[in-house]
Amino acid sequence: MSSPVPHDPEPPIPAALVSPVNVTAGAVEHSVDVVRPRLRARPSRRVALYAGVQINGAPHLGTDVMQTAAFLLARSARDRLGVRPALRFGALDNAPHDTRVCPRTGTTYTRSYHHALGPARIEELVKRFYGGLFDALTALTGVPYTVETYTRQQRTPAFREEFLASLGQWERLRWTLAPSSGQVPVSVPCPECGWLQKSGEHTELLDADGRRARFAALCLDHGRYETDVRPDGQGWLGLSTLHRNLVKERLADRDEALPVVVKGADWAAGCRLLDEAFLCFPDSRPPARVFTPVVLSASGAKLSKSLMREGGAALSPDTPPWMLDATRWPGTPEGYAALLHRLVSLMLSEPRHFERGYTTSEIARLIAGPG
């Protein structure tokens, strides 16, 4: 007996959306207009929008709202600013896949998705979680996209050069990336097994210059080892979130296309520290950034995999399963993309609707339409 063909729900009817007046009222007509000053300062016919793709589990609605917003912002950049847009998604295969704790010292060791699964299975995960949605959004918006894993990106000479440049500013930089402690771990995996110390407690920078950095670290199974990090791609880098984003944003600025970073609004506080970090480099400035709406639980906390795993998301009873796990959408990828397209288009209809958060209950109301 064949399985029934999934069908998509009826298209939602746009509901009334009420948002407070925000601080950009009167200055910004459309959220993509914040890119215009950068285009005037650095004229370009092309704009590249950068966003991240987590592969450590199925995406929730908040993740897919951000990515849909990236497509719609790219289209708006084309239509309002007269540029040729492209979307570049970074697939984060550096997230921990396995965790171990040393019984003697309590040190946490992790193995990344890349080291645990390998490139072929990483590609399968990206395709499973995002391939259908991204292809459908490209069909709806006419905006092309590419996906590059962190592993592939961190092997490039340009990424390594930016990392080595950050070590050259380290004494000042580490206090901007970690102002409470000045401790910013750099982790290098054991060449035999791929495990690394999560917080780099026993990782030591032996020497560094613009051409190479040599690290010594400790493996739980194989003892002490040394690793060279060079522009030729040797070695694998495990960087903290802010350090990694600093390197990636400086790398993006090398492109001929004007870089625009798209992040959820929960990133705003972290970007204050990134902006401070940019000041450590002469004649350097952070890229244009656009912050997208976050999806919130009933408690006001944004949806996150960790909260859902720990049972602390405080979700309202009207939250459908697919909002927590996009793979549980009852219809087709094209239907899901169409729903997100309509929903995020409504958010983008005015900056005050875009520059805010939405509970799962409010999104359920918007999808249901009036009445």
Per-residue model confidence as pLDDT tens digits over 169-204: 999 999 999 999 999 999 999 999 999 999 888 899
* Residue 3 confidence (pLDDT): 37
- Which pLDDT band, with edges at 50, 70 and 90, does 5 fall under? very low
Please tell me the predicted confidence (pLDDT) of residue 361. Answer: 92
At residue 35, the pLDDT reads 96
Let me know if 178 is exposed, middle or buried by CB neighbors in 10 A (0-12, 13-18, 19+): middle
Taken in order 346, 349, 352, 354, is the CA torsion positive or negative? positive
108-112: strand order across its sheet: 96-101, 108-112, 196-197
Residue 12: which pLDDT band, with cuts at 50, 70 and 90? low
Name all domains of the chain by residue range, CATH numbers in brackets.
31-368 (3.40.50)
Q: Is the pLDDT of residue 7 over 60?
A: no
The answer on pLDDT for 314 being more than 80 is no
Query: Which pTM was predicted?
Result: 0.93
pLDDT at position 8 over 80: no
Q: Check residue 79 and give its pLDDT.
A: 97
Query: Residue 2 above 60 pLDDT?
Result: no
Q: What is the pLDDT of residue 258?
A: 97
Residue 332 above 90 pLDDT? yes
High-pLDDT (> 70) share of the chain, %: 93
pLDDT of residue 11: 55
The pLDDT tens digits for 127-178 are 999 999 999 999 999 999 999 999 999 999 999 999 999 999 999 999 999 9
- Candidates 10, 51, 80, 21; CA nearest to 355 is 21
- Residue 277: CA atoms inside 13 Å, Cβ hemisphere, count? 30
Nearest to 243 by CA among 214, 270, 263: 270
69-113 pLDDT, tens digit each: 999 999 999 999 999 999 999 999 999 999 999 999 999 999 999
Angle in degrees, 0-180, between the axes of helices 333-348 and 61-81, rounded to the nearest 10: 60
Cα separation, 253 vs 260, whole angstroms: 9
Alpha-carbon distance 263 to 66, whole Å? 7
